[in-house]
Homo-oligomer: A and B are copies of this chain.
């Protein structure tokens, strides 16, 4: 999305405050959602190292390849750009100039980075350019901004959910016994684009049968849909750079009472989490209420992952809905609720929704039926 200049400037001011309170001289960001969030510029993460340095005061300083220099021109805010030509031996020179311009060349202070995004490629250049600086993980500095979605961001996420739901509804009538997981996945991805999605955030996980559905991070491997088994679909869409990430689990024809019981337990856990999540409730407490439901049903040890994760410009981001996370929810936070039960040899069920914390409690972006529907 094109980010209005006043929103960019507001974010710069909030980041500056976050840097100051964290005792950071600057933060160095390479291509990824945080860089886009703060600059409005889109870069691919490539073999050419790109870094932008943000400080508490002064314009951001960007290092980028000459051939992308157009991206640093005619911006609606001040930015200092240093470019390098195609020969990698020229990279360090540009990094040294940028670090100098940012006042970090001889600094022995703390400079923040995002451990989860910054690669050794950029890190080694930064370290050579500012050898005395202390490069510390400061993911929270940007995450603490990005975690709160404004109205435009929430609208984009709602749209990404709407598109994804419509795409699956358009796909379901085409799902037949004998199709492969991969055929369902391809059809769903096509429907996702047809319904107006940007580049899908990930290839749909379409898992069928007692082993594949029980593998939470499965990649489709060609199993054919067979009657009496489960079909798990984990899919998403994007709109203006914001993601949806949903899961529903279906019965292929009629399934056993045990599979129905498992599905019901997951559905109840999902509902319990929706019911409790609200401002002031901790992430851990939301995880616990869902986990308690599944434990009471006798399946506790088969709920092998956290309840959910933050969602926005990334498929997984802050806040993480983990039992040990004492962060209290606040208005504008967006995350997934996705309890699951995975029994290898029997089957796996997950029901995943995307939600936003509101003043009054919680609003679910997703509203597709959660009960076990029959396909095939």
**A residues neighboring B (CB under 8 Å):** 2, 42-44, 46-47, 66-68, 70-71, 86-87, 113-121, 123-124, 135, 137, 186, 189-190, 193-194, 196, 198-200, 202-203, 214-217, 219, 221, 304-306, 309, 315-317, 320, 322-324, 344
Chain B's closest residue to A203 (CB) is: B199
Q: Which of B44, B86, B198 is A322 in contact with, Cβ under 8 Å?
A: B86
Distance (whole angstroms) from the CB of A229 to the closest CB of chain B: 17
With a CB–CB cut-off of 8 A, which chain B residues contact A67?
216-217, 304-305
Q: Which of B71, B199, B214 is A189 in contact with, Cβ under 8 Å?
A: B199
Complex CA distance for A121 and B322, rounded to whole angstroms: 19
Chain B's closest residue to A221 (CB) is: B2
Chain B's closest residue to A190 (CB) is: B193
Residue contact B70 to A344, C-beta cutoff 8 Å: yes
Given contacts A186-B196, A190-B190, 6 further A-B contacts (CB under 8 A): A67-B305, A68-B216, A70-B214, A70-B215, A120-B123, A199-B200
Residue contact B116 to A137, C-beta cutoff 8 Å: no
Q: Which of B66, B306, B317, B323 is A304 in contact with, Cβ under 8 Å?
A: B66
With a CB–CB cut-off of 8 A, which chain B residues contact A304?
66-67
Q: Kindly report how many copies of this chain are found in the complex they form together.
A: 2
Residue contact B118 to A305, C-beta cutoff 8 Å: no
With a CB–CB cut-off of 8 A, which chain B residues contact A87?
322, 324
With a CB–CB cut-off of 8 A, which chain B residues contact A323?
86
Distance (whole angstroms) from the CB of A72 to the closest CB of chain B: 11
With a CB–CB cut-off of 8 A, which chain B residues contact A344?
70
Chain B's closest residue to A186 (CB) is: B193
Chain B's closest residue to A211 (CB) is: B70
Distance (whole angstroms) from the CB of A230 to the closest CB of chain B: 16
Complex CA distance for A203 and B219, rounded to whole angstroms: 21
Which A-B residue pairs are the 8 nearest by beta carbons? A115-B120, A199-B203, A115-B121, A190-B193, A67-B305, A70-B215, A67-B304, A42-B219
Complex CA distance for A70 and B211, rounded to whole angstroms: 10
Chain B's closest residue to A196 (CB) is: B186
7 A-B pairs with C-beta separation under 8 A:
A42-B219, A44-B202, A46-B316, A68-B216, A86-B322, A120-B123, A199-B203
